[in-house]
Every structure is written in structure tokens, then in C-alpha cells.
Amino acid sequence: MKAHNMDFDVIVVGSGMSGGIAAKEFCEKGYKTLVLDRGEPIEHGQYKTEGLAPWQLPYRGEVLTEFKLQQHIQKNIYIYNDFTKHHLINDLENPYEQKQPFIWYRSATVGGKSLIWGRQSYRWCEQDFKANKRDGHGVDWPVRYPDIAPWYDHIEPFVGISGSYENLPQLPDGKFLPPQSLNVVERDMKAKVEQAYPERKFIPARMANLSKANKVHTDLGRVQCQARSECSRGCSFGGYYSSNSAALPAAKRTGNLTLIANAQVQEVLYDDVACKATGVRYVDSKTGKSHSISAKVVFMCASTLGSVQILLNSKSTTFPNGIGNRYDILGRYIMDHCGGGGASGKISGYLDDYYKGRRPGGVYIPRFRNLENTLSIAKSTNNQTENGFLRGYGFQGGASRSGWQWAKNGQGVGVDFKAKVSQPGNWYFSMWGFGEVLPRFENRVMLHSTKTDQWGLPILVTDVVYKDNEKNMVDDMTATAVEILVAAGLEDIKGFEGYAPPGGAIHEMGGCCMGHDVTSSYLNKWNQCHEVANLFVTDGSAFSSTSCVNPSITFMAFTARAVDYADKQLKAGIL
């Protein structure tokens, strides 16, 4: 299959959620595949803080101020501590500029954010793909749920998703392993809330943690989740899905994979005469040397903003503003999920009950606002529904007992104090929302006109803001969360205040949106660049809207679908 004078059949830029699947799918189809990743090399099973107790680290898991200054953006991510900080970049060495506040969390290693993701995995529904066309915001998706459903079927068994079958149109069921069980408090809350609000379902979170290992998993050395609550350190058991534990090993065993770490891709190379991409140029971040490598097909999977940055920098006579960017679409419609809304409260009783292990996930409450089958008639000129916003949100949450952390700042000494510290405290439940952000043409990223990073790549400038639709949605999240906890009988209920800035949900999407027309979108229905047939983009930048559910499993499904299409085009001699 190797093309004449080409170094590789396929180049995949990035090795995370999308890149790992692209590598696996191409390698299993027999293509000589090169994966380039800007991060440090890391081998599955060699995670340096895995299994260590706090007292085995010099600062007990805390991070010194000097490291927080180097990682002044990354330190805000919820998993950040001394056990995990090496998985995240040094912000001083990897600058970007914010016209408006935007939190850009970035990986520092091969495998990308697949090593540190939250692992909640939900299918999009038919309404999600229709939303842009229905309310007029953003670019109409060129696909619908039936186009992607078979690819969810293809990906989910390989990844391993634990979940329950619920028959909800807004949250399609998939191919699941047994669900993670709700604990006793969550089960009682489920009964109370669903009785008070039948449309608000309490279901087990759908997690990419193996509740049961099937042959497809054990063949790669993966076993059942050990419930250690150390996922973000890396897991030698392969109990949760990462590129490192599954996709990259699957690609490697074919003999068709070449992976180069510390490879910062600068641009996709373009032949103005042949009207095709010819490969990529990258800089070795350790030596500073530049290398050009050719291939018949290029798949961009470098993360949403990472892919856009490289594509904008890929300039030629034909495309002086970035490869395939004749109509100034590249970098537009940048989105994330909006959040910051939710509530927490105390639960009386259940002091004789606890839970076994440290279960991944908790409770998920699927979207119930503005559903297609119950959509309210718009009542105002800005096309908002009676709830004050378009689209909707879901809740994640869970019940647990407080531990000994209070004692770090508490007072006491002696036997009584020790006895109190050794016992778990009251039960609490917290829930927080993830909402769909409206796609807006003016929300964008661009290259800085003069500033570059240390390797010569122009730094990225972010210009993304949320408006009243998102603020109204977050306000509704908090009010509704309080309402739910009241119905469940909780005490000391506190609604959350404030709005998470763009990037805060770590679900960036947009910038290379899929659509029907070259003048209004960057990619066609196969994730293929409208103007460069052998260039594909399959990470979050390809998305034309965000739904309200975690997107990673959908990134992977679209990637597998695009590889299948590219394979057929290659075999037909078209690419």
C-alpha cells in the first residue's frame, strides 16, 4: 500500500483520544502509519507516581509555588497535584495570549489528555445534530445520528464503557459493560427525585472504566478497574481507557506503527501544483532540528486548539491564510461547555452505611430542558425558550461521606481526636452542570502576528466569550440543582455561584467545523477538508456544536468513521 516516494502511508498528528484511534484503525488496515506527538514519551505501565502514598512524596502531594508559577494555567485543573503535574505542560514554555479569558489545559506526554480525562462517556442524540439548523446558530451538521451510530457501536466495545440501559431519546443507549452501582444514598435520592420530577432521571454515570474485562481488553493486558481513584496518574492495569493502555498498543502489535515523541508539528506541507498535502514539518523539541516527512494522507488529531494552530500556520501560495482556509473559516466557532452552576447539600442519617472501594463516576442526570419532543414555543425575539435560553444541560454528581481532611486545619490532640479523625463524617451530595454553548462565528482563535514560541511556531490568541444564553443556562443549573436537592430532602443546601470561563470544562470544540458548503465550513461529512482532499481533521476542532455531554467517545467514533472512508478512497486510488 505504500505510495512511491512517500515516507509513510499516513501521518497522524497527536496521540490522544482521536490520534490513538486513528493510529489503531490505520495500522490494523495495513497502512504504515507515523504518529507524531509534541509530548514526552511515556510507556504504559511506567507511570512514575502510580501507587505511591502521600508520604512517599516529599511534599505529600502538594505542589511548590515555583512549579505553580511555571504551570499558572494548568494548576487550575481539578486533577492538579504533585502526583499529576508532570502530565501537564509548562505554561511559561508554551505561551498563548488571551483577548478574553480562556483556560487552555494541555498535556505534556504521549497519550495526551486520554491519560487524565474524566472518562464520562455518552452518545450524542439526533436532536444534537439537528440543533444548529433548527435554531439558526452555527453551521448545520452534514451528518445525523444514524450516520454515527454504527461507529459508536464499533468504538464502545473496544474502549469499554460501563453503563445502564435507560431507553432515553436524549441519551441513546450503547454497547455497555455492567454499570457502576449507585450507592445507598444515591438510590434513595433517585427514588425521591424521580417521583417528584419524572422527567429528571438519576442514572449511573457511563464510564470508560472496565466493570468487566472482555477478551478485546484482556488481549491488550487490560483488566477490571481496581477502584483506586488514581486514574489521572496513569493505570498499569488498563482499568480505564487511554491511548497508552489500548489504542497505541493495538496499533503497535500490527508492526505498522512508528511513533515519534517530542515532535512539535509546525505545519502541514502543501503542493500547489498537485493540490494536495504532501506531509508535515516538525521540530524536535529536544534538539531544535526541523524535519519534513511525507505521506499520502494526513490526519490532524492534535487537540482542538492545537490542530487549528498548526493548520493556520500551514501557509502556501494557494492558501496564504492557512491550508484550506480560503473563506476565513479556520479558527471560527470555538466552543466549550458552559458550567459553574450546581449545588451541594448534607444528607442526614445513613451513618451505618459506607461504600466499597473508590468507585469511578457517580450519578448522571441527562438533559431535560428544551427537549425536542417537549420544546416550548419561542416567546421572544431572540428565539429563547421560556427557560431563558436555547439548548440544554445535564448534571454530573454523587454522594459520599466526608473524611479526615477537616483535621488538617482542625484542633485537637490525643485519643479522642484520633478516634474522631478515623471515622467518616456525614454524607454529602454535590451536582454540577455541563451546558451546550451556542456556536458563534466571532468566537475564534488566531495566530499572533509577531510572537512565536521557542520553536518558532506563532503563538495562539484566543478570543472567546459567553453571552446571555450561557449565563441564563448556568443560572438555571444552580436554581434547578437546589430544587432537586430540596426534593431529595437534603439539608444545608448551597447553590454554586459564578460562571466557569471558556476552556474550564476542558471540552474545547470547533475551529475546523464540519458542514455542507466550503464557504461556511472547513470539513465535509467525512471529516475531510473541503479544499484539500487528503487532509482530515477528527479531533474536537471538527465539531460544529457541542451537545451537552462529554465529547471524547464521539471524537473517537468520528475518527474511526473517517479512517474507514479514507481507506476506501486510498484503495480506489482517489487519494
Nearest in space to 79 (alpha carbons), one of 45, 55, 115, 43: 115
Across 92-106, 129-143, 288-302, 360-374, least confident range: 360-374
Tell me what the mean pLDDT of segment 78-84 comes to.
95
Q: Which residues contact 276 (CB under 8 A, 6 or more apart)?
A: 270, 532, 533, 534
* DSSP designation for 184: H
Output the pLDDT for position 413: 83
132 sits in which H/E element: helix 126-135
Torsion, CA 546, CA 557, CA 524, CA 527, rounded to 10 = 100
pLDDT confidence bin for 378, thresholds 50/70/90: very low
What is the rounded CA–CA span in Å between residue 142 and residue 364? 29
Q: How far is CA 233 from CA 65, 227, 261, in A?
A: 21, 13, 19
Q: Residue-wise over 110-126: b if at least 16 C-beta within 10 A, else e?
A: bbbbbbbbbbbbbbbbe
What is the rounded CA–CA span in Å between residue 131 and residue 421? 51
Output the pLDDT for position 1: 37
* pLDDT tens readout for residues 335-358: 999 999 999 999 999 988 877 668
Nearest in space to 432 (alpha carbons), one of 359, 391, 389, 481: 481
pLDDT confidence bin for 381, thresholds 50/70/90: very low
Q: Which residues pair with 45 in a beta bridge?
A: none
Q: CB neighbours (10 Å) of residue 352?
A: 6
Across 14-23, 181-190, 192-201, 401-410, least confident range: 401-410
Q: Beta-strand (E) ranges in 92-212?
A: 97-98, 203-204
* pLDDT tens readout for residues 212-242: 999 999 999 999 999 999 999 999 999 999 9
Phi/psi at 192 (5° precision):
-70, -45
Q: Which three-class secondary structure string do you get for 276-299? A: EEEEEEEEECCCCCEEEEEEEEEE
Output the pLDDT for position 4: 52
Nearest in space to 401 (alpha carbons), one of 417, 422, 375: 422
Report whether pLDDT(61) > 70.
yes
Report whether pLDDT(2) > 50.
no
Output the pLDDT for position 129: 98
Q: Which residues contact 64 (CB under 8 A, 6 or more apart)?
A: none
What is the rounded CA–CA span in Å between residue 513 and residue 329? 8
pLDDT confidence bin for 121, thresholds 50/70/90: very high
Report whether pLDDT(570) > 90.
yes
- Cβ atoms of residues 457 and 496 within 8 Å: no
The beta-carbon contacts of 271-274 under 8 Å, at least 24 apart in sequence, are 272/316, 272/317, 272/318
> Which has more confidence, 374 or 27?
27
pLDDT confidence bin for 7, thresholds 50/70/90: very high
Residue 490 is placed in which grid cell?
437534603
* Angle formed by the axes of helices 552-571 and 17-28, nearest 10°: 30
Report whether pLDDT(379) > 80.
no
Output the pLDDT for position 370: 95
Q: How far is CA 213 from CA 17, 157, 219, 224, 447, in A?
A: 20, 10, 10, 5, 45
